[in-house]
Amino acid sequence: MLTDRQKSILDFIQSEQREKGMTPSTREIQKHFRFASQTSVMQYLDALERKGFLDRHARKARALITPAMKVRITDIPIYGQIPAGMATLTEQTVEGHVSLDMRSANISKSGRTFALRVRGDSMIDAHIVDGDIVILEDRKDVQSGDIVAALIDGETTLKRYVTEHGRPYLKAENPRFPNLTPARELRIQGVMVSLVRKQPAGQRRKRV
């Protein structure tokens, strides 16, 4: 049996998972319930885990499984911005995390997954626009037609990987941008598996 407060916290976690596709952080739970500290939140999460309503993964505060939702939420680091226009050097620093259901985001359990924030419009015909967050897996089995983050001649970009007559190049999905053929080096940094787009505040509809 759950106490009223335990049930309220579980309901809040499941509601956030349903509506946002991510698990609330301990700080967000603290703020929502106006707890004096995160210690109280951890005590409630411990109780929910002991009673079998949550499953937490070590060192991943947001990696929670709720039996009612049957989802596995995991944190994915966001590394700076990657251009979806002309290739530009980017600084690979973690600027935050995005929490997603592994199954719905096509994330494998064994692969190294990371996210990049897109800027530019060279991939608009692939429905990837400025401000999107692309989810990528660091893997070797890249296929012609995959959308990839790639290092080409020392610069990083997001493009479609194409091979013709055994020679690879990076294809833009916007006729205003040229394709990129490596002069010296082409190294695949990640293969896109999913995309996250934040709906502009002005376009959100009120629930009725």
CATH code, 30? 1.10.10.10
How many independent structural domains does the chain possess?
Answer: 2
* pLDDT of residue 204 exceeding 60: no
User: In whole angstroms, what is the distance from residue 155 CA to residue 129 CA?
Assistant: 20
* pLDDT of residue 162 exceeding 90: yes
pTM of the model: 0.61
pLDDT of residue 13: 87
Q: Is residue 156 part of a domain?
A: yes
pLDDT of residue 64: 57
Both 66 and 90 in one domain: the answer is: no
Are 115 and 149 a contacting pair, CB within 8 Å?
no
Averaged pLDDT for residues 110-119: 83
Both 125 and 185 in one domain: the answer is: yes
Averaged pLDDT for residues 169-183: 95
Active-site amino acid positions: 122, 159
Q: Is 121 exposed, middle or buried (0-12, 13-18, 19+ CB in 10 A)?
A: middle
Among residues 43, 70, 97, the one where a domain terminates is: 70
35 CB-near residues (< 8 Å, 6+ apart) = 29, 41
Both 114 and 13 in one domain: the answer is: no
Question: What SS3 class is residue 32?
Answer: helix
User: In whole angstroms, what is the distance from residue 26 CA to residue 98 CA?
Assistant: 15
**In residues, how long is the chain?**
208
For residue 93, give its domain range: 74-196
* pLDDT of residue 63 exceeding 70: no
Both 88 and 56 in one domain: the answer is: no
Both 88 and 185 in one domain: the answer is: yes
Both 148 and 50 in one domain: the answer is: no
Both 65 and 117 in one domain: the answer is: no
Among residues 36, 70, 104, the one where a domain terminates is: 70
Both 45 and 115 in one domain: the answer is: no
Both 66 and 86 in one domain: the answer is: no
Quick one: pLDDT band at residue 207, thresholds 50, 70, 90? very low
DSSP state of 141: -
Quick one: pLDDT band at residue 68, thresholds 50, 70, 90? very low
Q: Is residue 204 part of a domain?
A: no
Both 91 and 116 in one domain: the answer is: yes
User: In whole angstroms, what is the distance from residue 65 CA to residue 53 CA?
Assistant: 8
* Model pLDDT for residues 12-61, shown as the tens digit of each residue: 888 887 777 677 888 899 999 999 998 999 999 888 888 877 776 544 44
CATH code, 89? 2.10.109.10
* pLDDT of residue 140 exceeding 50: yes
Both 81 and 167 in one domain: the answer is: yes
